[in-house]
A = this chain, B = another copy of it.
Amino acid sequence: MAKAKIAVNGYGTIGKRVADAVRAQDDMEVVGISKRTPNYEAAVAHQLGYDIYTPAENVEAFEKAGMPAAGSVEEMIEKADLVVDCTPGGIGEKNKPLYEKAGVKAIWQGGESHPIAGFSFNAASNYEGALDRDLVRVVSCNTTGLCRAITPIDRELGVKKVRAILARRATDPNDIKKGPINAIVLHPVKLPSHHGPDVKSVIPHINITSAALLVPTTLMHLHTVNMEVNTDCTAEDIKKIFSSQSRIRFIGQGITSTAEIMEVARDIKRPRNDMWENCIWPESITVNEKELYFFQAVHQESIVVPENVDAIRAMMGLESDGTKSIEKTNKALGV
């Protein structure tokens, strides 16, 4: 079978990781990536052998910078079966007519809102719903982390209510413009934050509230999750459920922070120190009268990357079984 031809439109934090992850699979290939400016990230893309596409008016600038573009973004889209849109939140929506005109399938990221695709995706929660779809939105890192944790508990025990408090990294490690550097910012003041409703875009029957703070760190988000469940259970039961999930990783052995998780990711030689799994501290799991608590850390730069691969596989009809797609993606990436 011919490999599915994938274009990655936007080569920032998510795009560059999605490109590498697609390249690592045996049933799909990258036909091109797009970049607006010939900067240091474009130089690495060039070095990695990706065909770089750019808006027509920027072709000359790439030529001058010694990394000739393969063509315009429109030309890239023409070559693809499916475009993964990894442009900044809000820009993706403006690209929709381009994809429609070219008749290609499209994936957007969580920065766009649910109606752009009419289907919000998490591999553990609703893989099958994405089968053969033309348009899909892969939800944000925080929503992905919540869906991965809620779905297995809901299937085993039934979830009555979720209360999630998110301490969000203020910005990504390479961002030299944003803060705060010494403040805790309510994000937003008015409750709930968008994360609870966004989980419902994937799993509509879940009763969930959420609140979010921005804190001065770049490494990972940290969720304090409270769930009321319908069935009596123990902390051991919860650990067993979580340990059955290949994209949930248990954190312990003296680790008490996001910084130490990132050190593990570096030590195990993960590309770009990516941590694709939800990082849950089993020691934090406590259960009292059908109410459980736990902490989980979410690597904002990489957690959605395997989800994008699975979404491609479902939409292209390459695999009808979500569990098998997750396994295949994980194996190729090295999860």
Contacts and interface: CB of A to CB of B under 8 A. Distances in A.
Interface of A: 163, 165, 167, 169, 180, 182-192, 209, 211, 213, 215-220, 222, 224, 226, 256-260, 281, 283-284, 286, 288, 293-295, 297
13 contacts: A165-B165, A165-B224, A167-B167, A169-B184, A180-B257, A182-B216, A183-B259, A184-B258, A186-B256, A186-B295, A190-B286, A192-B293, A215-B216
A182 B224 CA distance: 19
Nearest to A212: B224
Which of A163, A213, A284 has the most CB atoms of chain B within a 10 A radius of its CB?
Answer: A213
Contact of A213 (B192, B224, B259): B224
B217 A257 contact: no
Contact of A293 (B167, B191, B217): B191
Contacts of A167: 167, 184, 213, 215
A189 B226 contact: no
Contacts of A219: 182-184
B259 A191 contact: no
A192 B286 contact: yes
B217 A163 contact: no
Given A167-B167, A183-B219, A215-B184, A189 B256 contact: yes
A165 B226 CA distance: 10
A186 B222 CA distance: 9
Contact of A256 (B163, B185, B220): B185
Given A190-B283, A259-B183, A163 B226 contact: yes
Contact of A283 (B183, B189, B224): B189
Contacts of A182: 216-219, 259
A187 to B, nearest CB: 8
A297 B216 CA distance: 16
A174 B117 CA distance: 51
A258 B169 CA distance: 16
Given A180-B259, A191-B294, 13 more contacts: A163-B226, A182-B219, A183-B219, A183-B260, A184-B219, A185-B256, A185-B257, A186-B257, A187-B256, A189-B283, A190-B286, A192-B286, A211-B295
A140 to B, nearest CB: 18
A215 B215 contact: yes
Contact of A189 (B165, B218, B281): B281
Contacts of A218: 182
B216 A222 contact: no
B217 A186 contact: no
A218 B216 CA distance: 11
Contacts of A256: 185-189
Nearest to A169: B184
Interface centre among A169, A209, A216, A283 (most CB of B within 10 A): A216
Nearest to A291: B209
A41 to B, nearest CB: 22
